[in-house]
Structure formats: structure tokens, C-alpha cells
Structure 1
């Protein structure tokens, strides 16, 4: 346990540095926004393209792993949705809370940390988690909130969802990598060297950006945010573990990666969606802050238990 904690400590230390720089004003919100854009559109996209260009679709979409992660997510999604409905919250707030309970920071934290700690062979499963989060659950959130706001299922929804996915650089880079891989052509050395060099900036850049962005998050709505953080950090990995190990009997290594990804703190893009739809913004913000702080302890525990 101590060895795993020491392995993860540098990642959280960089998050802490980013938070400190933002807190004292050395790294203002404008700088955080531009760093996030650089990581999102260039460094992380290059990293994901490089991974995907060396894989086939079959490498990523392993049926048992996909089914296990989907089932684990849906169980916690249903629980969080039910808790919100019992509190008589509107359906828009309920689905936003459910989204908060299952969407981890796979892009900015999971990709760099899990691949570095568990090895390049973890990349396919991490990408699988990222694809399910971005395509399945982000689309579901958009459908439910848009339908609730308009009182019907708009014929524009497929176009809205499709454009959103196409414009997401993580989705686009993974798709481009898989298309290139399908050609059977390897990356030319200058291209590979460029993606490697740019991708190397993803890890420190993403971690620093996470920390700096936390200074904009407040610890309001602590009761609900605490519950959502518990659901994300504890219930979610437990549900994925049950599904992966006992129900679908996924490959042990892949199961460990799935569970570790499920243990990640709430993703920053959930806050972006909350702001976009103007739904449960304070709750989501607080859950991101609380879950990120607590994950310094919970993530090493999960890694030690399931990836040893």
C-alpha cells in the first residue's frame, strides 16, 4: 500500500502545485483556461492518437470489459438518480447528479497516470472507459436534459450529439488513430516522434491544469457533494469490480484497469456540462473539489487492491 501511495504521490503533487499556483495568483484563471486548451486540443490528443494508431478496434472494444464497465456505471447511475428523485429534485438535476457519480477524470488524470503506472498495455482499456464515458453517458445526459427542457425529443438531437462528438478532440484523435491503424501503415518516424514529444506534455500539463482549475471550485452544498463524492470514489469502483470480476469474469489485468479508472475523482467536463445547461453547478463544483482531494487516499488503495 505504501509503495503504491508513493508511486501515485508525484501525480497528486503536481495537482497540488497547480492548485497552489492558482490560489496565490501566480497562475490566474485565464492562464488555466489556455493551458487546459493546449492539453485538451494538442498534448492529450497527440497522446491518444499515438496510442490508438497502434491498436485495432478489437483491442479496445473487448466485450466483457465493455459490458462490465457499462453495468457498473448503470447501477451507480440508477442509484444516484433514485436518491435525487427521492429528494424531489427535477429530472435535469437528477441526471446531472447521476453523471457526477460515474464520470471520472479519465482524460486528464486516468490516461497519463494509469498508463504510466500500469504500463502501455493498460492504454486500450483506459481508452475504452473514455469512449463509453464520452459517447454513451454524455449523450444520455444531453438527450435527457434537452428533452426535459423542450418537453419532447427534438429531431435536432442526433445532429447536436453528433457535432458534439466530432468537435471533441479526444474522440476525434482516437478515431483518427484507429483509422490510421486500420490502413496497416505504421507512423512515419517524424510523425511518431512529433506525437511522442507533444504527448509527453500531456501528463504534467493535464495534472497542473487540474490543480489550477480547482481554485475555481467551491465547497458549497457539502451534504450532496459529499454523497456524490462517496458514490464516485467508493460505490462506482465497487460496482465495476463486482461486474468485472464476478459477473463477466473479465481478464484480470483489464478488470484492474477498469476498477482503477472507476475510482478516479469526478471529471472537470461534468462541471462544463453543468455550466452549459445551468444545472446543479454548485453541487458538481463541490463534488469535483472534494473527490479530487480525497482521491489522494482512495486511488492508491484501489490500485493496491486490484492491480498488484
Structure 2
């Protein structure tokens, strides 16, 4: 019988390998990486995020499992910032420790494992995942960047720093389409078909192109000493994160399929959006790239174990 974990993870591995091979045979050259990153970050990502949020009716969603999920995320994120200091490098690692590949891997995997009930919980998470985590991460990145500039002899007033960080965390290719889509959804309108169809196609292209781009970057990266930190990110994401979530779920009495769906989401590999942030802020790009590939490979072994544990808990 085909494993749900393999069914969801192997296409991701294949896409990363496709990008790696394309770079090795010189079909995609190093100079194109930045342009492809801009395509993903400024065109494909906003299309997917706006369209996803444009159908979310907040009043219809059960957020109790999601709140506990973000409690665990917050503990991992804050713990990472404490360990590594308040820098953009720490923010990149913290995002890698907490941002799951929920769409490309999570949806098929949770659907196969827990059916419609599990998907409802996961889609509720997806509806706010980017808004909460990427929005918060943007603010942290902006504040850390301002702090680093101040340390380098370019200080500015605290109020101005906070205002600029808050402004940049909203007027940004990630939070802005999320907020716009969420506001649009509350009007009750639907996106006209002539606009919706192109946006759908752009959004569908995001996952595959982002993963191919991970493979391309991997091909041009000199990993060497970066392997250890990349393995650490992968281990925290695929092992520590789900264990911590299960502890939080047990503490607050969350049980059943909603608990299992959230635990499985926590155990997923690092999402490609983390690489987009590393590129945008020019920090830990090769480390994050390697962590995405390593965590995806690691999940071929850890996700089946998580599924077995969850089977015992249900």
C-alpha cells in the first residue's frame, strides 16, 4: 500500500532535484536566480495569498486548535531569538524552525491521513498561517534590521524605528495581499472570473517554481560549514516543533483529528517562503536553502513515525 507520506513528499523532492539538475547543466544560470526570486516573491506569492484569503469568512472558522498551534510556534520562534540574539540571522532561523510547507505537502498528506475533517482544520490554519507568521516575521526582520543598522553607527529614534518597521511589515509583498484578501472576503463579493482564473494559475505556479528555485540555489551554494546549521534547522522543524505542539495540545486538552492534523502540520518540512525572506533580507540564503532540502528528505523518515504516534493517540 502506498504511504501517504511518500505520496506527498516525493513530488517535492523531485521538484528540488529538477532545479538542481537544471542549474548543473547550465539551463538556469546564477544571474537568473534573483529575477526568479522576484517573480516568486512579487508576482506569484501575492496572487496565491490574496486569492486564498478572499474566500475566508472568519466567523465560520473554529480557531481553538489554531491558537494552540501558534502557542507552540511562538515558543519555538521566541526560543530561537533568545538563543541566537535579536538579529536577521536569528529571525531567518526562527522562521525556518516554524514555517511549514502546508500547501504543497500538508494538504495532500492530511487529506490522505485524516480525510475531510482533518482538511477543514488544516485549511483553517492555512487561512491565517501566512498572515500571523509571515506578518510577525516581517515585523521582527524589520526591527532586527533597524537594530543592526543602529549598531553599525546608523542610529535613529526608537519611535521612528518602530513606525518604519510596522509600516514595512504591512506594505510588503506578503502581508499586504493577505490583509487585502481578508478585507475583500468580508464584503461577501466574489472575484470576477476574468480576474480569478489568472490569479488561480499564478498561485498554482508558486509552489513548483519556488521548489525548483530551491534546487537551483542549492546547486550554486557552497554548503560546506553550513550543513550543520541547516541540519539543526531541519531537526528543530521536523522533530522539536511537533513534539512541543503535542505537549501544548496535551496541556490544554486538545484531542482527536484536530490535534492530529495540527501535529502533522507542525512536523512538515521547512516551507519555500522562508527562502524568499532570506533572499529579500540578504541573510542565511544558502543555510535556509539547504535546510529546505534536508528537512524534506528527513521527513521521509520522521513523518511516518509521527503518523504512527498519532495513530496511537487517536
Where in structure 2 are the equivalents of 1:229-308 lying within 5 Å? 229-243=234-248, 245-250=249-254, 252-267=256-271, 270=274, 284=288, 286-299=290-303, 301-302=305-306, 306=310
Residues 251/143 of structure 1: CA separation in 2 closer, same or farther (3 Å cut): farther
Answer whether contact 1:54 1:181 (CA < 8 A) is retained.
yes
Name the counterpart of 1:174: 178
The answer as to whether partners of 1:229 and 1:266 remain within 8 angstroms in 2 is yes
Match of residue 68 from structure 1: 68
**Cα deviation, residue 125, structure 1:** 0.8
Match of 2:114 in 1: none
Give how far 1:230 is off. 1.5
Q: CA–CA distance in 2 between the matches of 1:253 and 1:259?
A: 10
User: What TM-score, normalized to structure 2?
Assistant: 0.76
Structure 2 counterpart of 1:115, from 95, 98, 107? 107
Distance 1:127 1:190, change over 3 A: same
Distance 1:303 1:165 in 2: 36
Tell me the TM-score normalised to structure 1 length: 0.77
What's the counterpart of residue 77 of structure 2? 77
**8 Å CA contact 1:80, 1:101 repeated in 2:** no
Q: Is the 8 A contact 2:87 2:148 kept in 1?
A: yes
Q: Structure 1: give runs of 5+ residues left out of the alignment.
A: 85-89
Cα deviation for residue 238 of structure 1 reads 1.4
> Of the candidates 164, 183, 189, which is equivalent to residue 185 of structure 1?
189
- Between stretches 215-224 and 184-193, larger displacement belongs to 215-224
Equivalent residue pairs, number: 298
What is the CA RMSD across the aligned residues, in angstroms?
3.6
The question of whether the paired residues in 1 share the 8 Å contact of 2:20 and 2:219 is answered with: yes
On the 8 A contact 1:44/1:199 being kept in 2, the answer is yes
Task: Specify the alignment match of 1:213 in structure 2.
Answer: 217
- SS of structure 2 residue aligned to 1:156: helix
Q: Is the 8 A contact 1:232 1:264 kept in 2?
A: yes
- 1:99 equivalenced with 2:103 (yes/no): no
Is the counterpart of residue 56 in structure 1 residue 60 in structure 2? no
* Ranges in structure 2 where 5+ consecutive residues have no aligned partner: 112-118
> In 2, Cα distance between the equivalents of 1:191 and 1:278?
33
Partner residue in 2 for 1:87: none
Change (3 A) 1:274 1:182: closer
Is residue 165 of structure 1 aligned with residue 162 of structure 2? Answer: no
Deviations 1:245-286 (A, max 9, x none): 323445754444433333333455656666776766665565
Contact kept, 8 Å, 1:15 with 1:211, in 2: the verdict is yes
Distance 1:256 1:12 in 2: 24
Distance of 2:89 and 2:44 partners within structure 1:
34
Residues 203 and 269 (structure 1), Cα distance of their counterparts in 2 relative to 1, 3 Å cut:
closer
